[in-house]
Amino acid sequence: MPSSDSSSARSSDNASADPSARGGRGSPKHPGSARKARHNEWTRAKMVAFLRELAACQSVKEAARSVGMSRQSAYKLRNRLEGTPFALGWEVALEAGLQQLAHAVLDRAVNGVEVPDYYHGEQVGSHRHYDERLATWILDNPARIGRHPIAREYSGEALDRLLERIEFASLDWEDGEPLPGRVVDLGADGSEAERGERRFLTETSWYAAAMREQAAGGSRSGRR
């Protein structure tokens, strides 16, 4: 369950988002005092648009450029907001990329990649090449990609709700707030959320099952 232990430090960082990302003056509670965001400032709308583009293109540079920001500023923002809904949104975008990779690898595994054949500098034909070692490794080790694979898997089917959460609610998780996911809605009470997350971890999560299998294999080899 998310915790808000470090919420005061992040929520007060005026470089992480526009004033509406925090309470106080300049927020929707004080519309008369709202100021116009600077062109190089990460607003809530920019965060959401960036995450949508990141899920689609899997390029931090291109996603940042699409909202008028730099790649460096995007990584700085993620590091500053580690452990927040925005950081989880980044992970969910990464999960979308892994799904795209799986589909692309399947296509190439079945159909191969056309490679031109040359003779004396002229193309004389082509052949199909089948070699996906790097992609296969990534698909065999998805838990090593990113920081929170189980959380991004859990929230992967709730991207729209997560992005809405990032744009309109607190930058930090509320105390006891459930993760948005396919099992538990944002409005669920704490006990229902905990039961849903527990069911996901023990019955549904592919990453959790893979980690348990790896741990069991390691313990068996250690006893030999």
Q: pTM for the whole thing?
A: 0.59
Distances (CA, A) of 100 to 55, 107, 156, 181, 201: 10, 11, 13, 20, 24
Q: Where are the beta strands (DSSP E) in 8-95?
A: none
| Cα-based angle 196, 200, 202 (whole degrees, multiple of 5) | 115
What is the structure's pLDDT at 221?
A: 52
Cα–Cα distances in Å, from 45 out to 41, 154, 181?
11, 24, 22
Confidence of residue 118 (pLDDT cuts 50, 70, 90): very high
Task: Name, in order, each residue with C-beta under 8 angstroms of 159's C-beta and a sequence gap of 6 or more.
Answer: 55, 89, 92, 96
Lowest mean pLDDT among 74-83, 139-148, 160-169: 139-148
Q: Which band of pLDDT confidence, cut at 50, 70 and 90, is reported for residue 35? A: low
Q: Give the pLDDT band of residue 1 (cuts 50, 70, 90).
A: very low
Domain chopping of the chain, boundaries: 7-223
**Average of per-residue pLDDT values in the chain:** 75
d(C-alpha 200, C-alpha 37), whole Å: 40
Query: Rounded distance, CA 86 to CA 11, Å?
Result: 12
Q: Is 50 exceeded by the pLDDT of residue 22?
A: no
Judge residue 177's burial from the number of C-beta atoms within 10 Å of its C-beta, 0-12 exposed, 13-18 middle, 19 or more buried: buried
Cα 222 to Cα 73: distance, rounded to the nearest angstrom:
44
Backbone phi, psi, residue 59, to 5°: -125, 115
Mean per-residue pLDDT for 141-155? 71
Predicted confidence at residue 193, as pLDDT, reads 65
